Structure 1
Amino acid sequence: MNPARLAAAALAATAALVLAPAAVQALPEPMHYVALGDSYSSGTGTGEYFDEECLRSAKAYPRLLATGLDADLDFAACSGATTNDLLTKQLGSLDAETDLVTLTIGGNDIGWAEAVKACLTPLTNCIDEIEDSEAIVRDELPGLLDGAYGAIENRAPNADVYVLGYPRLFNGERACGALKQPNVVEQTRMNEAADGLAEVVRDKAEEHGFTFVDVRDAFAGHAICDDVAYLNGLAYPTVESYHPNAMGHRNGYYPAVARALDY
């Protein structure tokens, strides 16, 4: 090698050594992902929990999503959470460095558990309870969601926020289980109420510039009473009843939010 080329090679090698540490330091930080919300985000219904108080599960869609994104996850979602619980207990991990937020919220604010319980009671009619929930969805839930979504905006102004909806619970074709409850008419009304809830959650999410992830199609054909159900029927422990099972998170919620994120 001639002296000129040798000098050039040495200079290039020196530059590489000098630049290498800077290149390493310039590697991006892992995505900061915060999962908020209620039992449909915590993983209640999957049967395995690393946090018994909030029934958080490694099989829940936030854990699956964090693994797929190689993200740092702050898992704040908790079984039974209302919008007030989200505001008072779950926002501590949010800041200007938060990149991604997902949540399901609102189901516990509308008396839905009481409606489901009424629909499971033999020889009774639960239409009144369903209509009570629909009235709360129409009259009260929009304001509650405004407060929750606004707080997320304020705490994490640079985050992409994905609001996930709730699936329809029933196929509306036949009753199943030992109690054969709810009947088909009640199933249909509950599904209609779920559709009304989805519309309110979607509209409010979009008003705040969030992305609404509709999971109803992802669970179609996999409702309670279907051959391959992504949702538990009446279960033991009862807290797992009428929640997505492990397949519901793996094959329902997770693919739906992954498609929304386009990865």
Structure 2
Amino acid sequence: MSFIRKLMLSSLIVLIPFAASAQTFVFTAIPDEDESKLVERFRGIADYLQQELDVEVKYIPVKSYAAAISAFRNNQVQLAWFGGLSGVQARELVPGSQAIAQGVEDQAFFNYFIAHKSTGLERSETLPEEVRGKTFTFGSKGSTSGRLIPEYHIRTIFNEAPEDVFSRVGFSGNHTRTLRLVEAGTYEVGAINYAVWEKELEDGNINTDDVKVIWKTPAYPNYQWTIRGDIDERYGDGFMDKVREALLAMDDPALLESFPRSGFIPTSNENYEPIRTVAEQIGILD
């Protein structure tokens, strides 16, 4: 019996390190575009990270911003590509979690307000009074660029809630749908993040006879990679730094273009305090 017990213990000593090293590293992203586009983009990122980190890496899609935050909170994913607001919310729920990298363009992100041709609206230096009484769509309720920033500017410019400015207010779910709904005239006005607009425009996917940009917002910090604070405990000392270094070193033009970003740079939680402040001001974040 003593020999068997010793044999079992020695087997455990061998197996425990192996099990730890064999853990899959899982990440997700907020669903700010059509799922097919996201799956294509992040499968490439998973392959890249797996090669750089020397662990199995898996991307899992989610159906909503809330689901992305929940997966992060419940440790179903250890890394996530969040927007400014969803990152703030997620880090609140998982102590020690860190924003570790952002796109070069995310230092000074901005929104476009767009309008259907039937409105007759043209581009101007501010959101024009003529949007009053029109129908309007945000993106996702939990989106920084799809809801938080547009609502902040609507309230600031008109000193009223969106529901009091527009005749009907909706939530499309993501930026691509916002574009399609305004392009089709289902909603007369909408707010979209500039990166999606520019990418769709570059790919020839926008009928500029039907929809146009009418206002560009001031800049703000947005998307970032956020990693759980307990990551080193699970994957070994220095793993957080290793993930950060891999993201910052990403230079494959095809991978970067899929975001689209020109590269990734270091960031920190403190850079997103302006997002927290705005969210608290308009009642999205307690």
Q: Which structure: larger Rg?
A: 1
TM-score, normalisation: structure 2: 0.33
Greater relative contact order structure (CA < 8 Å, 6+ sep)? 2
TM (norm. structure 1) is 0.35
